[in-house]
Amino acid sequence: MTVIPSSSGKPPPQCDIKSSSRHKKGWMILFKNQVDIVSKVKGSPIMKVLIAPMAAMAPTNGPFSRTAALCQALRDAGHEVALCAAVDVNYRPLDGVYNYEAPLPAPLGLPKALGLLFIKMVQQLGLQEKADVKSFEQVLFFTGALKAGFFRKDVNCLRKAIAAYQPDLVYAEFRPAALVAARLEKVKRVTGYSYPVQPNYAASPEFAGDVKQVLKADGLPPVNSVLDIFDWADLKIVPSSYELEPIKDNRVVFTGPFSKPILTAAAPQQRNKIIAYFGTGTISAKKVVKTLTEAFGETETEVYIATSQVKPCHDQNIFVASRFDFAELMPQALVYLNHGGQNSVMTGLIYGVPQIIFPGNIFERQYNAASIEQLKAGLVDELGSASEIPINTTKSIPELTPFFRRGMSSERLYH
């Protein structure tokens, strides 16, 4: 495994925010500006946009939720949109949006049936808790997206979609094959991006061999890492803020989260709820439900656990469901427990909710968690170590921590 320096999960030294020409005032740009910025690539008031999200057999909410939000925003602004998305566990049809066929990768390039069995076994045995993920390149390899046969098929499907739809630009939601196809078809390229995806932050070029062969066969420039392909984009969209991800690149635009938060000027509501969402890969859902029930069951604090990996249930003050209306719950949240995904940390910031983050051994989440702690917006709990930072809320995290750590300590969760 080759890991380029800074992969420890620690953010770089605090940068001078004002020095960035791309920095926008405040925590985020209003989401409508995302459409305005993308429009500048073509310079036309009305565009045809093909959005190509990454796919995976395992549940992962981020890519398709951003795809759906971007679709809606573009259509609301009068643009035409189509998808080229694999019908995976994360996909859902979007009204009025045509979806061109795309292949679904299987873990490590296994046959589909074995891939599904592999994912189920990993979830049942809790093996995801022990995963040591060093780079996004490694993530793509594990999903099977970098296998030569699959990558070639993916590029070909995307080229067919481009030829049929004739878009003004292709938006790649963390999908390198989409940038390759768009370059071959000579179409403008925009990509989703983040600080930890930079190859000089963390890369695993030993997994790039198959992709290099495909690029060479197509007469494209050589790359050292698959992550270098993101530099082929005309614009890089970061759905976060410069404070969290200080990327110095004149093609980078910071938009804040794609999903618009519902913010009101009303008086703050009583904060008496705990919200937990851990995505995939850090802590098993069964363990989250068990430990939070032991910690907070039969207390006056309501606990909402969002997961699709266990059956929905309601036991007194403990609520478990595949999804909740965060716009309704967040203004009442005392604390937000999460895995450190980009969408999650931005949700906590937008609603002003203190966070306790369990990033596990996953490079991106470690970076995001460290950034949140550095900004004094939450705590990082790694292997039982977490500093107590006073947070200006109706009840501070230090007051909550003894209740929290009694049942949700890293020692119990990770071993």
Does this chain's domain 17-254 share its CATH topology with 273-414? Answer: yes
CA–CA gap between residue 168 and residue 277 (Å, rounded):
37
The pTM assigned to this predicted structure is 0.78
Report the chain (415 residues): mean pLDDT per 10 consecutive residues.
35 35 31 48 74 88 90 93 95 96 89 74 63 88 95 98 97 98 98 95 96 98 98 95 91 87 64 86 79 83 89 91 90 90 89 88 90 88 41 38 39 32
- Two tokens at 376? 């004094």
- Residue 81 carries which side chain, given as an amino acid letter? V
CA–CA gap between residue 334 and residue 23 (Å, rounded):
30
Domain boundaries defined on the chain: 17-254, 273-414
- Two tokens at 33? 């500006």
CA–CA gap between residue 180 and residue 101 (Å, rounded):
17
Residue 315, pLDDT score: 87
CA–CA gap between residue 309 and residue 41 (Å, rounded):
40
Strand partners, 273: 302, 333
User: What fold is seen in the domain 273-414?
Assistant: Rossmann fold (3.40.50)
Cβ atoms of 57 and 108 closer than 8 Å: no
CA–CA gap between residue 357 and residue 179 (Å, rounded):
32
Residue 130, pLDDT score: 65
DSSP H/E element including 207: none
Residue 367, pLDDT score: 94
Residue 119, pLDDT score: 67
Strand partners, 382: 385
What residues have CB less than 8 Å from 144, skipping those under 6 apart?
Answer: 105, 106, 107, 108, 109, 110, 115, 150
Residue 188, pLDDT score: 97
Residue 406, pLDDT score: 39
Residue 379, pLDDT score: 86
Cβ atoms of 50 and 161 closer than 8 Å: yes
CATH assignment, 17-254: 3.40.50.2000
CA–CA gap between residue 368 and residue 42 (Å, rounded):
32
